[in-house]
């Protein structure tokens, strides 16, 4: 079989956000040519007939904890990567939980070693780590364990970044916590800070954005609601005009009207769809664990014993399809699951769009129901 492959007979999602009939040539994991349909020679090359499917970039999840019975904080990362790839997620930036410091150190060490020996054949590429705890507000901990929450310290972040081998791309932080602004200013040159799990005022959030924070962790969830006299983080994010905004579009965490409102308020260049999935994603109903806490899964809902939502059990491709079913244009939903999350953590030079020189990761979607036909 040739080392060069040509995708033909597909409607390819282009960087200008339209679907076009194009040929796409790739080899050695990089896209080598893109041309109008039937203009790239196939002589001596392998050919994949896309059968009229939509061809979109591999999806990128910058906030999830696990799947297929495995959690990032103690499970088998290779199993997670295999499952994600099979769904159509070809690059991952999984999230840690709020853990005892010795456990977090072990998790980061293990992830660093996994990356050193990473095999990306039919596995999602590990492109970073999202440190979701421990610098959060205990009043908005959600499914995070409050016993292990810590005061934000730049020295801690630098220590953990070294332990991870430089893999930490994103840190969730509550801007009202003592030390938060210092962390954002002191470590923002190499890490993106996301405001979340917070009870902050509009003013505290605005100061954090001005200091360099550029991301919001799962909009609407684990933060005060938007109120017309006290708009909080949501109002500050709207006013900021530049920050990227995560959204869990699983049909459980956020209502359809709130999903549509978010896309209208923040626009297609700022919305980041995430799954926030936990280890029960892809598994049957039952009892599971998240960050050392027991989680019950029934249907599409994962909860702690007190009813608190504990992540999702929905994959990112299903979240993308859910967004479309809620009235989000397909093109905007695809962007929110591909190029925009890549931009949000600075990996867009290699991932997130179908362009010459980028990773040759593709997902073929059925034109009628958007089901996944093939992952390449």
**Residues noted as catalytic:** 276
Q: Is 22 helix (H, G, I), strand (E, B) or coil?
A: strand
C-beta separation of 60 from 51 below 8 A: no
The number of beta carbons lying within 10 Å of the beta carbon of residue 166 is: 14
User: Of 285, 367, 358, 369, whose CA–CA distance to 57 is shortest?
Assistant: 358
C-beta separation of 218 from 196 below 8 A: yes
| Alpha carbon distance 268, 332 (integer Å) | 6
274: left (phi over 0), alpha (psi -120 to 50) or beta: beta
What burial class does residue 305 get, using C-beta atoms within 10 Å of its C-beta: 0-12 exposed, 13-18 middle, 19+ buried? exposed
**Beta carbons within 8 Å of 140's beta carbon, 6+ residues apart:** 174, 197, 198, 199, 222, 223
| Alpha carbon distance 259, 279 (integer Å) | 25
| Alpha carbon distance 138, 216 (integer Å) | 17
What burial class does residue 102 get, using C-beta atoms within 10 Å of its C-beta: 0-12 exposed, 13-18 middle, 19+ buried? exposed
């Amino acid at each position: 079989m040739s080392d060069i492959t040509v995708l033909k007979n597909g409607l390819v999602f282009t960087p200008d956000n339209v679907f076009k009939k194009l040929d796409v040539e790739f080899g050695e994991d990089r896209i080598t040519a893109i041309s109008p349909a039937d203009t790239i020679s196939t002589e001596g090359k392998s050919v994949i007939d896309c059968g009229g499917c939509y061809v979109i970039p591999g999806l990128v999840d910058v906030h999830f904890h696990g799947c297929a019975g495995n959690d990032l904080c103690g499970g088998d990362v290779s199993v997670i990567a295999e499952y994600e790839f099979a769904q159509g997620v070809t690059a991952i930036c999984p999230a840690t939980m709020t853990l005892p410091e010795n456990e977090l150190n072990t998790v980061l060490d293990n992830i660093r070693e996994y990356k050193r020996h990473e095999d990306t054949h039919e596995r999602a590429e590990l492109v970073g780590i999202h440190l979701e705890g421990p610098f959060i507000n205990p009043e908005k901990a959600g499914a995070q364990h409050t016993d292990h929450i810590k005061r934000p310290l730049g020295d801690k972040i630098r220590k953990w970044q070294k332990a991870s081998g430089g893999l930490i791309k994103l840190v969730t932080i509550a801007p009202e916590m003592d030390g938060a602004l210092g962390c954002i200013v002191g470590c923002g040159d190499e890490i993106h800070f996301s405001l979340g799990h917070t009870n902050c005022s509009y003013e505290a959030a605005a100061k954090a954005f001005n200091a360099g924070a550029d991301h919001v962790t799962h909009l609407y969830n684990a933060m005060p609601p938007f109120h017309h006299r006290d708009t909080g983080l949501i109002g500050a994010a709207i006013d900021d005009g530049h920050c990227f905004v995560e959204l869990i579009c699983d049909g459980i965490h956020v209502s359809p009207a709130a999903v549509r409102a978010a896309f209208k308020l923040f626009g297609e260049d700022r919305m980041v769809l995430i799954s926030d999935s936990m280890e029960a994603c892809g598994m049957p109903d039952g009892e599971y664990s998240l960050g050392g806490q027991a989680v019950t899964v029934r249907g599409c809902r994962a909860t702690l014993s007190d009813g608190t939502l504990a992540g999702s059990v929905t994959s990112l491709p299903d979240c993308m399809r859910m967004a479309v079913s809620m009235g989000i244009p397909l093109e905007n939903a695809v962007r929110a699951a591909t190029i925009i999350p890549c931009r949000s953590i600075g990996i867009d030079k290699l991932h997130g769009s179908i362009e010459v020189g980028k990773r040759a990761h593709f997902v073929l979607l059925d034109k009628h129901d958007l089901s996944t036909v093939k992952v390449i």
